[in-house]
Amino acid sequence: MKILIVDDEKLLVKGLKFNFEQEGYTVETAYDGAEALKLARDKSLDLIILDLMLPEIDGLTVCQKIREFSGVPIIMLTAKTEDMDKILGLEYGADDYITKPFNILELKARVKAIMRRVTTVGKPGSKTRINIGGVILDYNQRKVTVDGRTVDLTSKEFDLMDLFVCNPGKVYSRENLLDMIWGYDYPGDARTVDVHIRRLREKVEPNPAEPDYILTKWGAGYYFKEAD
């Protein structure tokens, strides 16, 4: 597995690189946003750890630009504690965030959780393709097609679609989704789910304001409409 670590704190990058290489990962590094974008385009990456505050191009912009050509999982690093910064990271396409200073064991656990979900689908003996109500999930390529239109999703967005499409009609509360998609110990809150659902609707729904696929059961949660 190949990880790109992006931060302008060289000692932090050096420490993270050492720790992840000890875990068996191949690690690329970058110290500014422009370099990060170039590596994201040129290298085949499995995950990006991306700092929010970067020289040249800030982390949010880097995340947004990467999402124009790649669905690679992105974990944002931020020294800021305000909720809005975390939400902005998710709005721009990040899959997860962690606030500095952080415990390296927690970061490793986040990385492993994301990589486990990405790599377990599409293996021999598991589902490789599902078609329901005009929505097709291709597990080998982790791609979604809606009424013949290919939709580029982030890792977490694909995981949400996987859960919904495989369980049409079943209502999931925000707490259910946090536990099942982000993990039981995830420190985020319901707004994390709401941001991802909103982004997902913007991508898959003909009219996000009046969704056809991902519906809301008021006071209960979200569910995928059963096929007619």
Between 108 and 140, whose confidence is greater? Answer: 108
Q: Is 180 left (phi over 0), alpha (psi -120 to 50) or beta?
A: alpha
Neighbours of 31 (CB within 10 A): 18
Whether 153 and 71 have beta carbons less than 8 Å apart is answered as yes
Neighbours of 150 (CB within 10 A): 11
C-alpha to C-alpha distance for 24 and 168, rounded to whole angstroms: 38
pTM more than 0.95: no
Number of residues written out for the chain: 228
Does residue 32 surpass a pLDDT of 90? yes
What is the predicted pLDDT for the residue at 40?
95
Q: Which percentage of the chain shows pLDDT scores above 70?
A: 89
Confidence of residue 122 (pLDDT cuts 50, 70, 90): very low
DSSP 38-51: HHHHHS--SEEEEE
Q: What is the residue-averaged pLDDT of the chain?
A: 86
Beta bridge partners of 99: 78
Confidence of residue 187 (pLDDT cuts 50, 70, 90): low
DSSP annotation of 123: -
C-alpha to C-alpha distance for 153 and 159, rounded to whole angstroms: 9
219: tokens are 């006071």
List, for residues 36-93, the tens digit of each pLDDT value: 999 999 998 999 999 999 999 999 999 999 988 888 889 999 876 666 677 777 788 8
- Spatial neighbors of 28 by CB under 8 A, at least 6 apart, are 2, 3, 4, 5, 39, 43, 45
Whether 6 and 51 have beta carbons less than 8 Å apart is answered as yes
Confidence of residue 27 (pLDDT cuts 50, 70, 90): very high
121: tokens are 């689908």
List, for residues 188-212, the tens digit of each pLDDT value: 567 888 989 999 999 999 899 999 9
C-alpha to C-alpha distance for 23 and 14, rounded to whole angstroms: 15
